[in-house]
Chains A and B, each alone.
Chain A
């Protein structure tokens, strides 16, 4: 059974940093592109970042480029999102997603990040 379990969400002050993790199981992690997608009640769903199977290719939405870094450790079946210079508008539920939009699409349950003083 595919499982994606996110962790690391916390309350953090503006300007602070946070590292999200996603532990994957039930599939060959190193075969798949992985994504982070976030959601807020106000803006809905927003694609944040992706990393290809070996970590050689990464991409970001404009609002986080230069502040967030996606990475993976295929030996640990884990995906990460390093979030720096956090802003109030980064407050969201962050989902780890496998194979977004294709027949093997699978989402974790999310981890909540709150940026507030």
Chain B
């Protein structure tokens, strides 16, 4: 099974900071990776699909990159509403999808 490892966890940052979250796959997954944001008491929300495709309505300060085994989610300028937990998920090994363990983004 493909394992996804996220780092760092947790991550402390301030409003206005540029932050990067990394997701590493245990084997190559091309660009079959999605990023989700989850706030307390809410369901996950899809931010990015296919490693770098920003979903409709998601602010442009969010971006994703990578292919193969190494992927990043970048927030260019943190806003107060961005403090949440972020998960990556791979879709390469259909149908055995897997998630990363999550990165909690905390206020410094």
Interface of A (DSSP majority class): loop
CB-contact partner of B91 in A45, A46, A101, under 8 A: A101
A50 partner residues in chain B, CB cutoff 8 A: 95
List chain A positions with a Cβ less than 8 A from chain B.
Answer: 44-47, 50, 59, 61-62, 95, 100-103, 105, 107-110
- B97 to chain A: closest residue by CB: A47
* A-B interface contact total, Cβ < 8 Å: 50
Q: With contacts A44-B100, A102-B49, A107-B43 known, what are 5 further pairs, Cβ within 8 A? A: A45-B44, A95-B44, A100-B97, A103-B49, A105-B46
Contact status of A110 and B43, CB under 8 A, knowing A101-B34, A102-B49, A103-B49:
yes
Contact status of A101 and B49, CB under 8 A, knowing A44-B102, A45-B102:
yes
- Contact yes or no, B56 A103, CB < 8 A: yes
| Interface presence of B77 (CB below 8 A) | no
| Interface presence of B62 (CB below 8 A) | no
